[in-house]
Amino acid sequence: MGGIFGPLLLIGSMLLLVMLGVPIAYAIGIATLITALYIGIPLEAILLKVSDGVDNFSLLAIPFFVFAGALMAQGGMAWRLVNFANIFVGFIRGGLAMVNILASMFFGGISGSSVADVSSIGSILIPMMKKEGYDDEFSVNITITSATQGIVIPPSHNAVIYSYAAGGAVSIASLFLAGFIPGVMIGLSLMVLSFIISTKRKYPKGKMVPLREAIRISGQALLGLVTVIIIVGGVIGGIFTATESSAIAVVYSFVVTLFVYRDFKYRQLPGLLHGVVKTVSIVMILIGFAAGFAYLMALMQVPAKATKFFLSISNNKYVILALINLMLLILGTIMDMAPLLLICTPIMLPVVTSFGIHPVHFGIIMMLNLSIGLVTPPVGSTLFVGCAIGEVSIERVSRKLWPFWFAMLTILMLVTYFPFFAMWIPTVFGGF
């Protein structure tokens, strides 16, 4: 098990199967089985690891986050947040672009999924922006890049996946806290950029919302934003676990959308559950097979070998971080976030911790980095959804993506090389 062929077989066969088009979860499972047969591990042991992978109470936060987000999205939260954001930034030059970014910042706190964000906020704002004279490509680009804020802004189900992939030793509460400033930094950088572009292209200004109207809109939106307080406050305050707080958020979202907003009807529940099942099951089965994969990696000492390999390249942590960032950026353009978090974390975390980088800081670096991949061709799920909603070709949008991409990359570099941005809030709250 100490040789190099086993790890090469595991990772190489997984990559080959993924490139062949096998669903990623099953590709990970098949690669694990092939390698287990090669190194002589009983397949029963692999299946036990797969079942242990999903047999985990803390992981249930993932389906509940998605469920609560879907309830809020279908229950009319998206347009309420759009109206709420309009109060603060709608009157500025390029106001609708600003509203788009701010609404995504709020919505990210509820949903944590960039695809859900683009589907909800984008389907309201992209047509509106186009009607007001904003360029098609600009409208889509601002929507998809601002949607990535939700990946790091708490609560984020990707933080739960990272915490799990890191062996459960990284606190979810700390990851939630650490994601706040980087998420807001992405939003602010996009706001500055969109203001510059809007001024140059003379995009329209909106109107100030009258005070009475603003109070009414705020009341409705804040009722939904309480979900964020329940989840984040509950976890950070140590009142609930992440799983418990997300389950409470589901019940709360259900009550608010059904009885207060009244935009969600009982009869819509089966359809909503159908959609949520189709989203969460693919992640859960991925986690199951990734548990078997991680078990073999640990048996074959892949993390230790990876650390040795990186140390042979350089012993400078900034060089290593640059290399890892580059590798993640490339991988992120062709593969999605959840599988990459599950596969790369067990390999890379021991490498970066050996250089003194905090696991919470690295988690935020990984999430920020991989979120760039979601809007970057050739494979960017958020980009695809945005283009479909905006009815613009991927080629046209991608050609004008670079200023937004550059803004996100700048934030990634700042967060990577200045740990303060990620680690300040967790430190203030008393530890990791």
Partner 1 sequence: MTSRYIKLMDLLYFICVFIAGGALFIMSTIIAWGVFTRYILESGSFWPEPISIFLAIQLTFYGAAACYRAGTHISLQMFAQMLPAPLKRWQRHVVDLLMAAICLFMVTYGASLVKTTYFQAYPEFQYIRVGVAYSAIPIAGLITLLFVIEKVVIRPSLPTAKEGDI
Q: What is the chain's alpha carbon radius of gyration, rounded to the nearest angstrom?
A: 22
Peptide bond into 7 cis (omega under 30): no
End-to-end Cα, the chain, rounded Å: 35
Choose between 98 and 283: whose C-beta lies nearer to partner 1: 283
CA 187-189-195 angle, to 5 degrees, is 100
CA distances from 231 to 281, 364, 394 (A): 22, 19, 36
DSSP string of 182-230, one letter each residue: HHHHHHHHHHHHHHHHHHHHTPPB--PPPHHHHHHHHHHHHHHHHHHII
Proportion of the chain in helix, strand, coil states, percent, rounded to 5: 80, 0, 20
Choose between 101 and 283: whose C-beta lies nearer to partner 1: 283
CB of 65 to partner 1, least distance (A): 10
The answer to whether 94 and 198 are in contact (CB under 8 A) is yes
Helix (H) and strand (E) counts in the chain: 24, 0
CB of 357 to partner 1, least distance (A): 25
CB of 35 to partner 1, least distance (A): 14
* CB hemisphere CA count around 255 (13 angstroms): 9
Choose between 269 and 322: whose C-beta lies nearer to partner 1: 269
Token pair listed for 320: 């290593």
Phi first, then psi, for residue 416 (nearest 5°) are -65, -50
Polymer length of the chain? 432
Give residue 12's identity as a one-letter amino acid code.
G
CB of 20 to partner 1, least distance (A): 6
Choose between 206 and 275: whose C-beta lies nearer to partner 1: 275
Choose between 154 and 373: whose C-beta lies nearer to partner 1: 373
CB of 30 to partner 1, least distance (A): 5
CB of 14 to partner 1, least distance (A): 11
Token pair listed for 428: 């203030």
Choose between 29 and 224: whose C-beta lies nearer to partner 1: 29
CB of 415 to partner 1, least distance (A): 21
Choose between 270 and 430: whose C-beta lies nearer to partner 1: 270
CB of 158 to partner 1, least distance (A): 9
CB of 317 to partner 1, least distance (A): 30
Pick from 203, 206, 202, 200: which is nearest to 82 by CA? 206
Choose between 29 and 90: whose C-beta lies nearer to partner 1: 29
CA 294-26-113 angle, to 5 degrees, is 80
Choose between 34 and 322: whose C-beta lies nearer to partner 1: 34
